[in-house]
Amino acid sequence: MSSAIRRALLFMPGDDRKKIEKASSLGVDSVIMDLEDGVALNNKPAARETVAHALREVSFGRSERLVRLNPTSQIDWCEEDFDHTIAGRPDGYVLPKVESAADIATVDGWLTTAEQVHGWPHGSIALIAIVETALGVVNLREIAGAAKRLQALAFGAEDLAGDMGATRTLEGWEGFYARSAVVTYAKAFGLQALDTPFIDVKADESLLVNDAERAMQMGYTGKLAIHPRQILPLQQVFTPTAAQIDRARRLIAEHDAQQAAGVGVFTFEGKMVDMPMIRAAQSVLSRARAAGIRV
């Protein structure tokens, strides 16, 4: 199954039907109904029922319907989350605090069985893994290749800082190695890379945009969101502009023409062109296609 467009993925607490309904009307790429950190411990049973009903009853429009489970380290909760929501056939599950291939294999096995039982196509329900512990970062290689239905790796800076005893800063240098590692392994295995949420919802929008642009420049294809006002800025950052798309198309066309004429090195808009510039242009067009733009 091809990966969905995921520039902005909005978390909504699984125990709040009104917020889920609100999210479904916002045009966000993905709505993540949260059964983990967004739900109090004593309200998890009610949250499972709320999400199960929302999957059956709420129209999400073009938004992808995702469910965040509890981690497999809390296997009873995780399995109850899955058992209560699978009949609603979400588009995918988000698995937090992934630390090994075994974590992925557990949920992949449940999904394979459910697809067989319900007569759904094998692999039709996606998996997204959030890497947010030191052990998860160390085991990125085995995690990234753990299952064919795994479509994306997401980075979780807040939990990683807590796990490492680090101090979160606006600049994010305490998590820079992990942030780089997640996107590197995602791209090495042909997966989408989703950046950590920007948690200061009261901050000036320019700070959110700067953080998202830095992630995009690193190779991330989208970012997790925790407030509706973050959706539009994030979707704009991860969508190339018309001018960027036009320039990329013209550069690649000129490169192809020069290659056909037997010319290896040429100038474009006053600059010498080499292969890294061509690959950068191809990346712009790839991001445009991922955002649903015909190029």
Can you tell me the distance from the alpha carbon of 110 to that of 65, in angstroms, rounded to the nearest whole number?
18
Q: Catalytic residue among 83, 200, 256, 274, which? A: 274
Q: Coil, helix or strand for 201?
A: coil
Can you tell me the distance from the alpha carbon of 37 to that of 30, in angstroms, rounded to the nearest whole number?
18
Q: How far is CA 142 from CA 62, 94, 110, 120, 132, in A?
A: 32, 18, 19, 27, 15
Question: What does 140-174 look like in DSSP terms, one character per residue?
Answer: HHHHHTS-TTEEEEEE-HHHHHHHHT----SS-GG
Ramachandran region, residue 75 (left: φ > 0; alpha: ψ -120 to 50; beta: rest): alpha
Q: Is 274 a catalytic residue?
A: yes
Can you tell me the distance from the alpha carbon of 30 to that of 8, in angstroms, rounded to the nearest whole number?
7
Closest CA to 105 of 148, 135, 66: 148
**Is the distance from CB of 90 to CB of 76 less than 8 angstroms?**
no
The catalytic site residues sit at: 274
